Structure 1
Amino acid sequence: MSHPITVLWSIPRSVSTSFERMVSERGDHLVLDEPFSRAYYFGPDRRSDRYDRTIPHSSLREVVEEIEEAARERPVFVKDMAYQAQDLLDGDFVGRVRNAFMVRHPAATLRSLARTWPDFTDDETGWAHLDRVADLVEDAGEPLVVVDAEALCADPERVVADFCDRLGLDHRPDALTWEPGMRPEWELWQEWHGSTAGTTGFSPLRPPPPPPGDDQHRLRAAYEAAMPVYERLLAHAVRGASKDK
């Protein structure tokens, strides 16, 4: 009998790696960091030419088989970008897992993405395929369980408790802090996870920067495409119990 597979679908630069680190600290899940990135960037049927390296056993089928095989032994938590799994989004994978979402204001995520990858593609912004997963979840009659990065970092105990309640997980407040350091599962994307490796917990975020101006054509177009998806998902964000209670 298989254990549950929980997938946190996110976008780049959304604090999702810190959330993943918190789940690792719980100790009750096998945590997989962006396994679908292997298929998207390094597999035999890759969708991106950003890298010329090929990683063996990285077809989308093989990645899914690895995840499902791991779930035979213990619960699995996957953090990934929906665009990296886009070839699954017309199949039944989404219906076989517990789905959750992580968002952060596009003015922050897109500027951060552009600093590392100034040649980012429409896929790599992450928002369009996140919207597609949300469609699939709602079409199946399931609620959207969304973590908002700003709310999480402002009040992690309440937001994580609410998230756990909605997914039927035990809340473990002791997992909200951790020892700094690079994790083995981050090996493929160490250059992206360096900032998280230096943390010991969630810290309040700076307010989002101003939206890109009209003179920033690429960023502005990406921002305008992202905002409706962000606002749609933000409306479902877990907020925790009221402080008045």
Structure 2
Amino acid sequence: MNTILALWSVPRSISTGFERMMMERGDFKIIHEPFSYFFYAKERRAEAVHMNVDPTAPLDFPDILAFIRSEAEKKPVFFKDMCYHVISRADQEFLGNFVNTFIIRDPAWTLPSHHKLNPDFTMEEAGYEAQTRMFEMVTKMTRKTPAVVDAEDLVEDTHGVVKAYCEAVDIPFMPQSLTWKAEFKPEWKTWEKWHLDAADSTGFMKDMEQFDVTVHDVPRLRDAYESCRPLFEVLYPHRLRAR
């Protein structure tokens, strides 16, 4: 079986932009948030806001994993997903299927962006607790720190951060993958409304998002920020640095 490279994220962390870069490489089969079907369509743990359900997609956790593994028999696989989609089932056996990597972003940015699309998101969906737990699980399992990309670093120094990521996971660095044609990718159909910025992008661009509020304007967001920021700070010191 070929490598399965996983990027574990929180919502609104530029993870789909990172996935778009991986698409541009051309050497990986890309699978987009496969475990969202388990969380939203199978377990129904929260309302599936703006979800376009594909009736052919696997829903059961073992079936989703089997699908990913079957694709890896043909070609190396890259998938990105939310930690909170899988944390209820994540254990050493599950995580051992993948090269596990993480993308993080300051909740001062993710929470207003999330609020814009889903004002009633739950704290589980904010994603930081699950991401911290998974990071700690992977670190303990592998006895080394997994690759962590910080979204703001990625935008500020795309070349350096992506190169460092490629070195960390032992894949070739392809500078040509850092820019692309603006287009909507079929892999994003399930969550189409959530990925319009990624579809409009041609690279990792600053100030693409416009927010109506900040975390200081809405009491609920302020409370969420106070809960999420310390969790973000657990991973932040481990972020990749450009060499």
- State the shift of 1:91 in Å: 5.0
- State the shift of 1:94 in Å: 1.1
Residue deviations 1:111-160 (CA, integer Å, cap 9, x gap): 11011111101111011110111111111113131101111111111110
What count of residue pairs does the alignment treat as equivalent? 238
1:191 corresponds in structure 2 to 193
2:16 corresponds in structure 1 to 17
- In 2 relative to 1, CA 4–119 (structure 1 residues): closer, same or farther, beyond 3 Å? same
CA distance in 2 between partners of 1:70 and 1:174 (Å) = 25
Query: Partner amino acid for 2:120?
Result: D
Q: Is the 8 A contact 2:111 2:215 kept in 1?
A: no
Moved runs in structure 1, 4+ residues, more than 3 A?
49-56
1:172 corresponds in structure 2 to 174
1:107 corresponds in structure 2 to 108
2:130 corresponds in structure 1 to 129
- State the shift of 1:54 in Å: 8.2
**Runs (5+) with no aligned partner, structure 2:** none
2:37 corresponds in structure 1 to 38
Q: Is the 8 A contact 1:40 1:84 kept in 2?
A: yes
CA distance in 2 between partners of 1:54 and 1:182 (Å) = 17
- In 2 relative to 1, CA 28–229 (structure 1 residues): closer, same or farther, beyond 3 Å? same
The answer on 1:218 being equivalent to 2:216 is no
- In 2 relative to 1, CA 228–206 (structure 1 residues): closer, same or farther, beyond 3 Å? farther
Secondary structure class of the residue paired with 2:215: coil
1:150 corresponds in structure 2 to 152
Q: Is the 8 A contact 1:106 1:223 kept in 2?
A: yes
CA distance in 2 between partners of 1:176 and 1:88 (Å) = 34
Q: 1:47 aligns with which of 31, 45, 48?
A: 45
CA distance in 2 between partners of 1:145 and 1:102 (Å) = 8
- State the shift of 1:204 in Å: 2.8
Query: What RMSD in Å do the two structures reach over aligned CA positions?
Result: 2.2
Q: Is the 8 A contact 2:11 2:127 kept in 1?
A: yes
CA distance in 2 between partners of 1:27 and 1:143 (Å) = 27
- State the shift of 1:205 in Å: 4.3
Secondary structure class of the residue paired with 1:80: strand
**Runs (5+) with no aligned partner, structure 1:** none
Query: Partner amino acid for 2:9?
Result: S
CA distance in 2 between partners of 1:211 and 1:73 (Å) = 45
2:139 corresponds in structure 1 to 138
Q: Is the 8 A contact 1:38 1:55 kept in 2?
A: no
CA distance in 2 between partners of 1:29 and 1:54 (Å) = 22
Residue deviations 1:85-121 (CA, integer Å, cap 9, x gap): 1232235211221111111110110011011111101
CA distance in 2 between partners of 1:49 and 1:24 (Å) = 29
The answer on 1:182 being equivalent to 2:184 is yes
1:94 corresponds in structure 2 to 95
